[in-house]
Chains A and B, each alone.
Chain A
Amino acid sequence: MDLQRYQQPHVIQAALAQRRIAIVGLSSNQLRGSYFVGYYLRRHGYEIVPVNPREQEILGKKCYPSLSDVAEPVGVVCVFRAPAAVPAIAEEAIAMGAPYLWLQYTVISQEGADIAEAGGMQAIMDRCMKVEHARYRGRMHWLGFNTERISARRRLT
């Protein structure tokens, strides 16, 4: 699969410009990767909409059993689920009119991406929303990571 097609900087940056993020599969366990991402995104001003049938409330926000239960519009559907669950999530995301489907590291589903694109969404795959935020808008460079960002422009942080 051509993963790079789903990792284009301009698509990633457009998704990061959205403000309300539904996180499907968000855990309330503070040591899980999904919690790290949710916590981080909330810290950076995003409104988090948790989706997880086994939880009532995460990060101080009401948790919805499924994406179709979410009433308000969301800009990004961010997925921490097994790849097999992605096609159904993509269908729900299209139905609610979300413009971006973001599949986290190792959540690789060609079928899910195809469904999303056929439904007018843009798909991002095998990328972490926290890392990409930190790369373009945050402080990933403070810990010696390769942001691959080269510019002589003055940045904000």
Chain B
Amino acid sequence: MSDGDGEAREFGFHTRSVHAGSRPDPTTGARALPIYQTSSYVFEDPESAAAYFNLQEYGNTYSRIMNPTVAALEERVSNLEGGVGAVAFASGLAAQSAAFFTLLEPGDHVVASSALYGGSVTQLKHFFRKLSVELSFVDPDDLDNWRAALKDNTKLLFAETIGNPGGNVLDIEALADLAHGHQTPLMVDNTFATPYLARPMDWGADIVVYSATKFLGGHGTSIGGLVVESGEFDWANGRFSVVADPSPAYHGLPFYETFGIYGYLMKLRAETLRDLGAAMSPFNAFLFAQGLETLPLRMRQHVANANAIAQFLEARDDAERVSYPGLANSPYAGLVAKYLPRGAGAVFCFDLPGGREAGLRFISALNLFSHLANVGDAKSLVIHPASTTHRQLSDEELAAAGIGPGTIRLSVGIEDAADLIWDLTQAFDAIMEA
């Protein structure tokens, strides 16, 4: 909904990708989003300064806590996601740790999907141990696993819309119902889907986190992350005194009572971002906002290419276990139809029967796919976990992590599908010739 002179209109996703959060600059009229490269802001007068620090007025004080360029990105992402607001961070993992830190206390318990991005698994294990928060990992595919893991002190459920790299698709609505029955929020990492392919809040998720580093930016130039909140969770249900009670870290301010549906996000910004300090730089925010302008266009091409390549691999005898959830015979086909009708993302794995040796040769022969440890770039990317991120592991240990010695992970870019298929074909040929 929006207005020029009070007339309401529901603008479409493409319009919002280009415009949300970024009106022409009031001072200069600049049409592009200005990069406010400043650490701090001059106060109009002492009373305004006091009002800003007391949070009685929306005002800029210091760029560790807020910045107009970063705010434009935050509003754009929260608008596309359908949340009440967002807070940006220096990386996806910084966003996750801040989201956790804001709502958890020592002695709480979190249930998380075991199919998360490896860096998230490591983060949860180490971070929660240091915070004295209990952690249970569950296989996300069966709701009974989640249900069985719930405890009296469970304060959060956490999973990815599309798991990295296994491609598990989350039954968001069922999990949100389970969480809410336990008066607990559901947090979803929507990095692989982006709001163009899936909007977890439409299905009941309360908090959505992003690594903006991937598809949101799409250019692979910057590291960043965001937390978006729906404003619908009742933090005053008696289980989240850390959000609802007067805060000792902000002169006794009761964030949820004072700011209502904006309370969690105000606390996330005014306390957690202030204290953890992992702010996004204005320049990175500019690059991410620029990238978002083409998000729907890019995602359509990513998904079309991923489908074409998955089908190409599926038809070959020398590619096994193609994990793309968008394939018609995927065990996740039903969930894809419900949650990802525009496509199941562009990251997936397949196995080379020749193991580590074949994996190395395949990678070396590729021309267009960049061999690196990232996903979600406009450029196609590839990695062979057994010789890089997971090279210290034995074949048995790899198997436990769901990775084979010949597993290849692709992040399909927006080049011409025919060129990508040409590249993969000649890499398969190179294995044969060896």
Known: A31-B252, A139-B59. Contact between A144 and B87, CB under 8 A? yes
Report yes or no: B68 in contact with A150, Cβ–Cβ below 8 A.
no
Report yes or no: A152 in contact with B24, Cβ–Cβ below 8 A.
yes
Report yes or no: B57 in contact with A105, Cβ–Cβ below 8 A.
no
Report yes or no: A151 in contact with B84, Cβ–Cβ below 8 A.
no
Q: Which residues of B contact A30 (CB under 8 A)?
A: 54
Output the nearest chain A residue to B6 by Cβ-Cβ distance.
Answer: A10
**Within the complex, what minimum Cβ distance (angstroms) separates B38 from chain A?**
13
B215 within 8 A of A: no
Report yes or no: B2 in contact with A151, Cβ–Cβ below 8 A.
yes
B221 within 8 A of A: no
- Which segment, of B11-19, B108-116, B154-162, B184-192, faces chain A? B11-19
B293 within 8 A of A: no
Report yes or no: A33 in contact with B66, Cβ–Cβ below 8 A.
no
- Which segment, of A36-44, A87-95, A116-124, faces chain B? A36-44
Report yes or no: A142 in contact with B2, Cβ–Cβ below 8 A.
no
Known: A141-B71, A146-B75. Contact between A43 and B57, CB under 8 A? yes
Interfacial residues of chain A within 92-142, with CB under 8 A of chain B in the complex: 105-106, 128, 131, 134, 138-142
Of A13, A30, A145, chain B has the most CB atoms within 10 Å of the CB of: A145
Known: A8-B8, A43-B57. Contact between A144 and B75, CB under 8 A? yes
A148 to B70, CA, bound (A): 17
A23 to B329, CA, bound (A): 61
Which of B4, B20, B71, B253 touches A143 (beta carbons < 8 Å)?
A: B71
Which of A36, A134, A144, A153 touches B71 (beta carbons < 8 Å)?
A: A144
Can you list, as one digit per residue, whether each of B193-217 has a CB less than 8 Å from chain A (1) or not (0)? 0000000000000000000000000
Report yes or no: A141 in contact with B72, Cβ–Cβ below 8 A.
yes
Report yes or no: B78 in contact with A146, Cβ–Cβ below 8 A.
yes
Q: Which residues of B contact A146 (CB under 8 A)?
A: 20, 75, 78-79, 83-86
Report yes or no: B260 in contact with A33, Cβ–Cβ below 8 A.
yes
Output the nearest chain A residue to B19 by Cβ-Cβ distance.
Answer: A150
**Within the complex, what minimum Cβ distance (angstroms) separates A73 from chain B?**
24
Report yes or no: A148 in contact with B2, Cβ–Cβ below 8 A.
yes
Interfacial residues of chain B within 280-318, with CB under 8 A of chain A in the complex: none
Output the nearest chain B residue to A143 by Cβ-Cβ distance.
Answer: B58
| Contact size range, B | 35 or more
A154 within 8 A of B: yes
B7 within 8 A of A: yes
A35 to B265, CA, bound (A): 20
Q: Which residues of B contact A36 (CB under 8 A)?
A: 55-56, 258
B257 within 8 A of A: yes
A14 to B7, CA, bound (A): 12
Which of B2, B4, B55, B78 touches A145 (beta carbons < 8 Å)?
A: B78
Report yes or no: B4 in contact with A9, Cβ–Cβ below 8 A.
no
Report yes or no: A9 in contact with B3, Cβ–Cβ below 8 A.
yes
SS of A interface (majority): loop
A69 to B31, CA, bound (A): 51
A155 within 8 A of B: yes
Of A39, A134, A139, A154, chain B has the most CB atoms within 10 Å of the CB of: A154
Output the nearest chain A residue to B4 by Cβ-Cβ distance.
Answer: A151
Q: Which residues of A contact B257 (CB under 8 A)?
A: 32-33
Known: A32-B258, A150-B2, A150-B20. Contact between A144 and B85, CB under 8 A? yes
| Contact size range, A | 35 or more
B386 within 8 A of A: no
A13 to B4, CA, bound (A): 11
Interfacial residues of chain A within 1-47, with CB under 8 A of chain B in the complex: 8-10, 13-14, 30-33, 36, 39-40, 43
A71 within 8 A of B: no
Q: Which residues of A contact B29 (CB under 8 A)?
A: 154
A131 to B84, CA, bound (A): 11
A147 within 8 A of B: yes
Q: Which residues of B contact A9 (CB under 8 A)?
A: 1, 3, 6-8
Which of A40, A131, A144 touches B56 (beta carbons < 8 Å)?
A: A40
Which of B11, B66, B269 touches A150 (beta carbons < 8 Å)?
A: B11
Output the nearest chain A residue to B20 by Cβ-Cβ distance.
Answer: A150
B262 within 8 A of A: yes
Can you list, as one digit per residue, whether each of B73-94 has a CB less than 8 Å from chain A (1) or not (0)? 0110011000111111000000
Which of A14, A31, A105, A145 touches B75 (beta carbons < 8 Å)?
A: A145
Output the nearest chain A residue to B79 by Cβ-Cβ distance.
Answer: A146
17 contacts between A and B (CB under 8 A): A9-B3, A30-B54, A36-B55, A43-B57, A105-B261, A142-B60, A143-B71, A143-B269, A144-B71, A145-B84, A146-B20, A149-B2, A150-B11, A151-B19, A152-B23, A152-B31, A154-B25
Known: A143-B58, A144-B74, A149-B2. 17 other contacts (CB 8 A): A10-B8, A33-B258, A39-B51, A40-B56, A40-B57, A43-B56, A139-B57, A139-B59, A141-B75, A144-B87, A145-B74, A145-B85, A145-B265, A146-B20, A149-B23, A150-B11, A154-B26
Would you list the 4 A-B pairs with minimal beta carbon distance, nearest first? Answer: A144-B74, A10-B6, A145-B85, A139-B58
